[in-house]
Structure 1
Amino acid sequence: MEREIKGGFRTINPHTEKEIATYTYFTESEVNDAIDNCHEAFLKWKDKSLGERATIIKNIGKELKNHKEQLVQLMTDEMGKVVTQGGSEIDLCIAITEYTAANAGKELEPIERELPNGGKGIITYSPEGVIYSIQPWNFPTYQPLRVVIANLMAGNGVLLKHAQNVTGSALLVEEVLRKAGVPEGLFKVLVIDHSQSNDVIKNDKVRGVTFTGSSAGGRKVAEKAGAAIKKTVLELGSNDAYLVLDDADIEMAVKACVQGRLINNGETCIAAKRFVVVDKVYDAFKEGFVQGMKDAVMGDPNNEETQLGPIARKDLRDLLADQVKESVEKGAVIEVGGEVPDNTGFYYPSTVLSNVEPGQPAYDDELFGPVASLIRAKDNEDAMRIANDSRFGLGGGIFSKDEKAAIELAQKHFDTGMVFVNSYGLAQPMMPFGGVKDSGYGREHGGFGLKEFVNAKSVMLVEES
């Protein structure tokens, strides 16, 4: 976790609990200079061709490859990511650069349309300016880059406020972009606190705000941006439901669900969290799932055998423990785990809760860590009802041997932004990423993120009748 000191903060390794680095907050003058410099760099960058921008985006991918080992180790040190999973995060970022460079041209090229009486209309996607990105710690490289890559390609500039505990990763990303040829000032990491962040949102040169984090945080950011009449994109939390239907392949479902709950130490917005299992297969799934969670190897995230590292910060570990405790007090049953280990590091074991019902945090809220909520459904229809019985709607999953029926269920009835059939959720560069309800609005990836902060401008030549 980070520890506040006068004028700044220290970052702490969640495995060793030792200090990593000390950082000082930017002064008001430094913040304003960064905004002004980003705006000035944008005025030049917006006139670059799509091809010129794509070259820089491809260079970012090359530099990510050059810095992969350094980024992976720093993410492990700062937030406890299992080292074997850090490489996959960098690979995803590289894939995003490649997809964006190859496909953005057709997404952002002007469109011509015929007007009545022989007139001509042209739709152009014009960049808007400086975009302010506020990002969390759980994917220290991917979270900022998915915003940066899309917006640089669209012609915008980006200012980043990263989570304090991964400030080192943020600054390394900045170095990667600089070495890739991103113009000076066009991307800048702001080392600032919340009050300074609010001032950035208000600044006239900032044209849009994108935020990833909790629903509570998203509300505050949207309120500040709305008061300044600025568009926001919010990618917020969730308690994604994974449905195990009566014809599911139980062995395959168990394996995927264990992986889906434990990936990234369970600290993923789109992770599998509520496991809604039809009565017919409940006992078989429960037996395998509890054993799979029990077998997960927890320990030093630097060891390649480790499947579950520490929670990123002590306060987050304590919150998770409190949510489990409250759920148990309200009737949930611990099948495995549920006890904070007495050792160095902010660890919490893989945990399964059964008898999970409405009114418990395990049912209603997001548990950001390796805790799974096991819920029994009467039948397939009841399972779908339970899945949608949530204020969240980011992702979800369906396990069924009838893939056609599962796809139809996902398309017509699952009230989320993303649904995974017979697999667990991961972002894909070619598919839109985002949610509904309290999980936010707006989309990233798949070409959609390119158009969130551009001006779809109509230019019309109307023929005289």
Structure 2
Amino acid sequence: MSNKTLTASNPANDKVLKEYAMLSKEEVQQKLEQTHKAYSSFSQTTVQDRAQRLTVLADLIDEHQKEIATQIAHEMGKPYDQGISETQISSSIARFYADNLPKLMETEQRDVDGAVRAKIVKDPIGAVLGVMPWNYPLYQVIRFAAPALAGGNVCLMKHASNVPGCADLITQLFHKADFEEGIFTWLPVGSEMIEDIINDPVVQGVTLTGSEEAGRKVAEQAGAALKPSVLELGGIDPLIVLDDADIERAVDLAIAGRFDNTGQSCAASKRLIVDKSLAEDFSKRLIEKVKDMRMDDPMSEGVDIGPMSRKDLRDDLHDQVQRAIKSGAKLECGGEIPDRDGAWYPPTVLTNVTQGNPAFNEELFGPVASVVVADNEAHAIELANDCPYGLGSTVVAKDDERGERVSRQLQAGMSFVNRPTTPFAQLPFGGVKGSGYGREQSEYGFGAFMNIRTVYVAEH
């Protein structure tokens, strides 16, 4: 038996919440064997059966939303109300696949020379390993698991080591929905065991949401094993404010896009690229509103900013802010580590951010907004695309047709006009360039781990 543990700590006060036993290599192998057996039967279940289980899962998430939001707040510091919102998008994804599964699984008929029948059918491929992050502990799991299970695959979850209580609670909900052990299985292991799990013949696909570094490792390992992978990695997403934008609306969108989840989102609006005609007014209003944001216990009512998830990540962010200032950025507010227990970092605004500055070129994964001034529309597009990543993007404009035209010129997997990048069950989620490849959610997420198979019956 393993004697190693995963420790859950509250980032608001550094208190240890609970320890969870990790699996030994032998125990992991037993789980994989159980998964293999479960797949043999689960892959043969009916579309109606799988849809019903997903509906039950959605109902359970809604029923337990307070418990889930509380667990998330305690383990990674997300403000409680934002945790409730996370449960709502999660249940909507489960319902999307439950409601649309018959259509998603439909056989497509093709008229082909020499064939009595030519069809495209969709079959499951086997066990899918999900390597999950801590910043959206429930949503990220549902995003990979709901479409995989809908298609008849089975799921193995390697969750982030600092949210084991969330992983345990999520697993209980899946099991209550009759996605029992073997169909949905939590593997409480360290990252050092991921390669061996990927290489196991039971695993037929892998998806990861995390850092670019982790993505490169998993992509290499999955590629060497000739197994499909989906990667959702980092982002330095732009929010462009065009010269016709309503300033107050632009500021509100920037705050929502940048500071939700204490700024710990791959698809957050990290670079606020503002036309020079509006930049001074925009920055003034932004700074005033950010100074008024409330940073407090994530379980308190009306909190805007909770603690960051871990102290080491907080310290890394502060180092980036300090380097940005040394490189010419101006600190307008925040930017100092408070003298208190926990992984706290105040909402921060940097102005005078230019190309080459760490606040422009690096992903600042926390509550820090970087204001970049653009000379005109073309310059704004150039600045937005001067980035190794391409996940989400936002354009703010009164003329929505102009906003859409600009958005189509951005190198990103998702473009939103007059709204921050937002997950919807019906829309694909994913990026380009260093933000990874493949898509989750919608019919495109459903097809990621399905065998899209040709069946051709020749004429006699």
Shorter chain as denominator, the TM-score bin is over 0.9
Q: Is residue 6–residue 162 contact of structure 2 (8 Å, CA) maintained in 1?
A: no
Q: Is residue 94–residue 142 contact of structure 2 (8 Å, CA) maintained in 1?
A: no
Q: 2: CA distance between counterparts of 1:356 and 1:78?
A: 33
Deviation at 1:229, TM superposition (A): 0.9
Q: Is residue 313–residue 346 contact of structure 1 (8 Å, CA) maintained in 2?
A: yes
Q: Is residue 13–residue 19 contact of structure 1 (8 Å, CA) maintained in 2?
A: yes
Amino acid at match of 2:294: V
Is 2:143 aligned against 1:146?
yes
**Which residue, out of 233, 237, 252, partners 2:234?**
237
Partner of 1:362: 359
Q: Is residue 7–residue 25 contact of structure 1 (8 Å, CA) maintained in 2?
A: yes
**Which residue, out of 295, 316, 334, partners 1:298?**
295
Partner of 2:427: 431
Partner of 1:314: 311
Q: 2: CA distance between counterparts of 1:423 and 1:249?
A: 13
Q: Is residue 331–residue 349 contact of structure 2 (8 Å, CA) maintained in 1?
A: yes
* CA displacement 1:16-58 (0-9 Å, x = unmatched): 1100111222011110111111121111111111111100000
Partner of 1:269: 266
Deviation at 1:6, TM superposition (A): 6.6
Partner of 1:449: 445
Q: Is residue 115–residue 462 contact of structure 1 (8 Å, CA) maintained in 2?
A: no
Is the partner of 2:290 in helix, strand or coil? helix
Deviation at 1:455, TM superposition (A): 0.7
**Which residue, out of 106, 111, 115, partners 1:114?**
111
Partner of 1:256: 253
Is the partner of 1:448 in helix, strand or coil? helix
Q: 2: CA distance between counterparts of 1:418 and 1:269?
A: 12
* Identical-pair percentage: 38
Partner of 1:75: 72
**Which residue, out of 4, 8, 17, partners 1:11?**
8
Q: 2: CA distance between counterparts of 1:71 and 1:118?
A: 53
Q: 1: CA distance between counterparts of 2:363 and 2:70?
A: 28
Q: 2: CA distance between counterparts of 1:96 and 1:345?
A: 33
Is 2:386 aligned against 1:389?
yes
Deviation at 1:446, TM superposition (A): 1.3
* CA displacement 1:232-279 (0-9 Å, x = unmatched): 100011010000000001110101111111101110111110000011
Structure 1 stretches of at least 4 aligned residues deviating more than 6 Å after TM superposition: none
Q: Is residue 3–residue 22 contact of structure 2 (8 Å, CA) maintained in 1?
A: no
Deviation at 1:118, TM superposition (A): 5.1
Q: 2: CA distance between counterparts of 1:383 and 1:359?
A: 16
Amino acid at match of 1:181: D
Single out whichever of 26-35 and 73-82 deviates more from structure 2.
Answer: 26-35
Is 2:412 aligned against 1:419?
no
Is the partner of 1:424 in helix, strand or coil? coil
Q: Is residue 396–residue 425 contact of structure 1 (8 Å, CA) maintained in 2?
A: yes
Partner of 1:377: 374
Amino acid at match of 2:420: Y
Q: 2: CA distance between counterparts of 1:392 and 1:104?
A: 33
Partner of 2:330: 333
Is the partner of 2:394 in helix, strand or coil? strand
Deviation at 1:104, TM superposition (A): 2.2
Is the partner of 1:116 in helix, strand or coil? coil
**Which residue, out of 118, 132, 136, partners 2:129?**
132
Is the partner of 2:455 in helix, strand or coil? strand
Cα gap change, 1:443 to 1:284, in 2 (>3 Å): same
Q: Considering only aligned residues, what root-mean-square deviation do their CA atoms show, in Å?
A: 1.2
Q: 2: CA distance between counterparts of 1:339 and 1:356?
A: 18
Cα gap change, 1:211 to 1:118, in 2 (>3 Å): closer
Q: Is residue 417–residue 434 contact of structure 1 (8 Å, CA) maintained in 2?
A: yes
* Structure 2 stretches lacking a partner, 5+ long: none
Amino acid at match of 1:428: F
Q: Is residue 413–residue 430 contact of structure 2 (8 Å, CA) maintained in 1?
A: yes
Q: 1: CA distance between counterparts of 2:161 and 2:181?
A: 23
**Which residue, out of 394, 418, 440, partners 2:436?**
440
* CA displacement 1:352-372 (0-9 Å, x = unmatched): 111112222211111000001
Q: 2: CA distance between counterparts of 1:366 and 1:229?
A: 30
**Which residue, out of 405, 408, 418, partners 1:408?**
405
Is 2:92 aligned against 1:95?
yes
Is 2:244 aligned against 1:247?
yes
Deviation at 1:328, TM superposition (A): 1.0
Is 2:458 aligned against 1:458?
no
**Which residue, out of 168, 171, 184, partners 2:168?**
171
With normalisation by structure 2, the TM-score equals 0.98
Q: Is residue 236–residue 362 contact of structure 2 (8 Å, CA) maintained in 1?
A: yes
Q: Is residue 6–residue 164 contact of structure 2 (8 Å, CA) maintained in 1?
A: no
**Which residue, out of 15, 20, 23, partners 1:23?**
20
Q: 1: CA distance between counterparts of 2:353 and 2:407?
A: 24
**Which residue, out of 202, 207, 229, partners 2:204?**
207
Is the partner of 1:352 in helix, strand or coil? strand
Q: Is residue 225–residue 231 contact of structure 1 (8 Å, CA) maintained in 2?
A: yes
Cα gap change, 1:300 to 1:240, in 2 (>3 Å): same
Q: Is residue 46–residue 156 contact of structure 1 (8 Å, CA) maintained in 2?
A: yes
Partner of 1:187: 184
* Structure 1 stretches lacking a partner, 5+ long: none
Q: 2: CA distance between counterparts of 1:371 and 1:206?
A: 39
Q: 1: CA distance between counterparts of 2:170 and 2:181?
A: 14
Give the 5 Å matches for 1:26-37. Answer: 26-37=23-34
Q: 1: CA distance between counterparts of 2:114 and 2:183?
A: 44
Amino acid at match of 1:262: F
Q: Is residue 392–residue 414 contact of structure 2 (8 Å, CA) maintained in 1?
A: yes
Q: Is residue 104–residue 450 contact of structure 1 (8 Å, CA) maintained in 2?
A: no
Q: Is residue 82–residue 301 contact of structure 1 (8 Å, CA) maintained in 2?
A: yes
